[in-house]
Amino acid sequence: MTVLKQLPKGAGRGVAFVVLVLALALAFALAEPRFLTHASLSGIARHMAANGLAALGLTFVVIVRKFDLSIAGVAAFTGMSMGAVIAAGYPLWLAIVVGIMLGAAIGGLSGFAISKAGFPDIVTTIAIGSVCAGMAFLYTGGRSIFQNFFQSGITDLNDARFLGISVSLWFLLLTYGIAWLVMHRTRTGLAFYATGENPTAAHFSGIATRKFIGSAYVICAIFTVLAVLLILAESGNAETNKGANLMMPAYAGVFLGAAIMGGTSVISTFAGILLITMLLDGFSLMGVPYYYSDGVVSLILLLGVIAFSDTIRTWAGGFKLFTSKTKRTGSVSGGQA
């Protein structure tokens, strides 16, 4: 039994999720027998690693009831920065450190503007993301960076295996494990959740809410850097549009997972991102053109959110005793300016 137990009927939702995954796997396996081959599954694992890291970062921001739309811009800029460091002949670890430091600085800036200066989250992160996307062009004016990539060993992050499973997936499982422990088994996690539920009450309870909101953005940016690092490792070069495909799966993973599991948590994000990655890879294996992928993810997200929305549940499930009329504090729709 845990303090942060999201839902008393959590088990039912877990079963529903497993059934969903199995049904999806079966459907793809029937439609395209190659789906269950080792190559395909390890592809899913690798893609899940990049998407999963970005989604995990976003989870922290969503838990404090904010949004971060700078993921694509941060990924572009830090990806190019890491590429530039590698191309200049510096070792891989230095590139990673530079990337993480830049990410932390950008996340810190967003976090400061939003938590301390009271800027609206959605538009602030769009602005910062836009500046970052522009700055990604500073190094090469937009040309791809690939020098030194193979010598640096970055591609090993993609190719190396441990116990037959790619290291990127191990890394993903490790980060999710740590994040789960922190968010659901420590007082830091409780403070993150309290901040999101009601920042005023959390402040009155002696929780440094601004610190937690600010660090959520820093964490999100750092995980975005790690995600784009895996993408660079897979493709063997850095381009300004490398991070563009991180944002949608991250949002879809977090919100689809939350819809299925009945609340945002590390586990719900894992569930969401697993489903999304299976869908994306399954469709691409079936030869569905690339331009459908965002549409498919979006559609799944929308359908998921609709299917699990309170209103639909009320309509479908009939009657709820004392329908709660409480206004949500801190509207998620984002009142601007």
Torsion from C-alpha of 43, 46, 47, 50, nearest 10 degrees: -170
Q: Which is nearer to another protein, 248 or 274 (CB)?
A: 248
From the list 98-106, 131-139, 224-232, 274-282, the region that binds another protein by CB under 8 A is 131-139
Of 11, 30, 118, 163, the one binding another protein by CB under 8 A: 118
Q: Is 331 in the site for another protein (CB under 8 A)?
A: yes
Burial of residue 38 (number of CB atoms within 10 Å: 0-12, 13-18, 19+): exposed
155 near another protein (CB under 8 A): no
Subset of residues 61 to 80 that bind another protein, contact rule: CB under 8 A = 67, 69
- The yes or no reply on residue 105 touching another protein (CB under 8 A) is no
Size of the site for another protein (CB under 8 A): 88
Interface residue with another protein, options 193, 212, 223, 283 (CB under 8 A): 193
- Give the x/- contact pattern for another protein in 197-216, rule: CB under 8 A: xx-xxxxxxxxx--------
- Which residue in 102, 164, 167 sits closest to 138, CA to CA? 102
Q: How many CB atoms lie within 10 A of CB 75?
A: 33
C-beta atoms surrounding 163 within 10 Å: 6
Pick the binder of another protein from 42, 126, 144, 284 (CB under 8 A). 126
Nearer to another protein, 45 or 73 (CB): 73
By CB under 8 A, residue 142 contacts another protein: yes
- Does position 122 interact with another protein (CB under 8 A)? The reply is yes
Residue 126, both tokens: 């769009």
- Other C-beta atoms within 10 Å of 175: how many? 18
Instruction: Tell me the window of 92-100, 161-169, 170-178, 318-326 that interacts with another protein (CB under 8 A).
Output: 318-326
DSSP code, position 145: B
Distance CA 28, CA 278 (A): 9
Please say whether the beta carbons of 64 and 219 come within 8 A. Answer: no
Site for another protein in 163-192 (CB under 8 A): 185-191
Measured distance CA(251)–CA(326) in Å, rounded: 26
Residue 31 found at the interface with another protein (CB under 8 A): no
330 lies in the site for another protein, by CB under 8 A: no
